[in-house]
Amino acid sequence: MPDSVTQVNLRRWSIVSARPYVSIVAAVEAAIGHPDMRQFSAALAVATSHADVENTVRGAIGRSELMEFMRFDFGALLALAGVTGTPKSIRLVIGNPLIAEQMVRHVPDAASYAPVTVLIDERPDGVHLSYDEMASLLAPYGSPQALQDALDLDAKVKAMLTEAAGLA
């Protein structure tokens, strides 16, 4: 079978805030759900209907309709590696399985991109909040419905980050 290559032009959305890093991270944490992933996965494993899945997800998401799947504290890693100062950088893997499901129905490759990543890191000019837009990842696949779902997800993530940054 011949190789297949799809060119994806990624758009990274970023804003810079003068708010303190800890305040921004706290605001994002307050907006997203933080399920115990073992319990969440176990509940999904015993679901016998889509309604069970919906109820499990709705119980796990925060007011942003998103939940945290995983986090990587690169600031702590850099500090342990001897980087001077107090480096602050966190990558959050967030999303909503029901939104991902909608996109994957129309574009199976969407499962490669969901959940999404948010980067919050402190630099000399302020705290950067960055997000790789799902719509840019799905646009090449040509599905209007998946693209609309991706645009809706992008809007949720950007609104949450803009609010956390104090720019809303």
What is the Cα–Cα distance from 75 to 67, expressed in whole angstroms? 22
**Residue for token digits 């939940």?**
67
pLDDT at position 2 is: 74
Quote the mean pLDDT of the chain: 96
Question: What pLDDT, in 10s, does the model give residues 73-129?
Answer: 999 999 999 999 899 999 999 999 999 999 999 999 999 999 999 999 999 999 999
In this prediction, residue 63 carries a pLDDT of: 97
Query: Is 13-164 in CATH node 3.30.310.70?
Result: yes
The CA–CA distances, whole Å, from 16 to 5, 21, 72, 155, 164 equal 34, 11, 20, 17, 11
Q: What tens digit of pLDDT does each residue of 10-32 get?
A: 999 999 999 999 999 999 999 99
pLDDT value, residue 4: 87
Q: In the chain, pLDDT over 90 holds for what percent of residues?
A: 94
